[in-house]
Structure 1
Amino acid sequence: MFIAYVTVTILAVLFNATAAVTYLIGHDYPKAQLRMKRLPPSWRPVLGVLLAMGAVGLLAGFVAPLLGVLAAFGLVLYFVGALIAHLRVGSRKLVGWAVFFATAVAALVVNLGYHGFS
C-alpha cells in the first residue's frame, strides 16, 4: 500500500502543481478555459493558488497525514466545482477534467487507505 500511496500522491502533486503554475503565470490555456466557462479573469490567480495549496498540502501529508487527506478532499471539491462550471455552459469536453478528478479521488483514497482514517 505504501508504494501506491507515494506514487499516486506524487502524481497528483505533479499534475496539480503544473496546473497551478500555468494559472499563476498567465498561460493562454487557463485564460481560454475561463472564457469558455464564462468565469471572470480575476478568478485565474485564485484558482491557481487553490491548485498550488492542494499540491503543497498533499506533500505536507507525508509529514502530517491529516493535511494530506484534507488537501486531497479539497482537490476533489475543486474538480467537482470545475465539472459544474463545464456543465453550466454546456461543455462536454471533459477528458482533461476526468484525468484531474480521477487523480484527486485516487489521492484521497490512497491517503485514507494508507493512514487508516475512517
Structure 2
Amino acid sequence: MSTAYVVVTVVGAAMAAFSAASLFLGAEWTAKPLADYGVPRSWWSWLAAAKAAGAAGLLAGLFVPVVGVLAAIGLVLYFLGAAVTVARARWFSHVAFPLVYAAPAVASLVLAF
C-alpha cells in the first residue's frame, strides 16, 4: 500500500463525509441546489447516507482492500449520477462540483491496483 493511496483515500473519505454531513445537517449551500435540481426532499437522507457509507468504506478499505474498491466504485457512480442530475436540470455551470468530489474516489480506485 503506497503513501499516495493512503493520502488520496483519506482525502476522498473526508470529502465524502463532509458532503454527507452538510446534507444531513441541511446546510443551505447543499440543500438549495438539490431543491433547484429537482431532487425530492425525501431522498436527501438516503443520499447523505450513501455518501457517509462510501466515506466509511474508503477508510475500511485501508484494512480490507476489497471494501475500499467497492466503496470507491460506489462513490464514483454516485457522483457521476449527481453530475448527470445537475446536467439534466440544465445547471451546466454546476456540473464540475460533483466531479470534484468524484476525483479522489477515482484516484483511490486507480491507486488501489
**TM bucket, shorter chain:** over 0.9
Aligned residue number for residue 59 of structure 2: 59
> Matched residue of 2:62: which SS?
coil
Aligned residue number for residue 110 of structure 2: 109
Give 2:22's aligned amino acid. T
- 1:14-55 deviation line (CA, Å, top 9, x unaligned): 100111111111211221121121111111111110000000
Structure 2 residue 72 is the aligned partner of structure 1 residue 72: yes
Aligned residue number for residue 28 of structure 2: 28
Where do 5+ consecutive residues of structure 2 fail to align? none
The Cα RMSD (Å) is 1.2
Give 1:94's aligned amino acid. V
Partners of 1:74 and 1:98 lie apart in 2 by 14
CA contact (8 A) 1:30 1:44 kept: no
Quick one: percent identity of the two aligned structures? 39
Q: How many residues align?
A: 112
Partners of 1:90 and 1:50 lie apart in 2 by 24
Partners of 2:95 and 2:104 lie apart in 1 by 14
CA contact (8 A) 2:58 2:69 kept: yes
Aligned residue number for residue 48 of structure 1: 48
Moved over 4 A (4+): none
TM-score by length of 2: 0.93
TM-score by length of 1: 0.89
Partners of 2:59 and 2:105 lie apart in 1 by 13
Where do 5+ consecutive residues of structure 1 fail to align? 114-118
Partners of 1:46 and 1:29 lie apart in 2 by 18
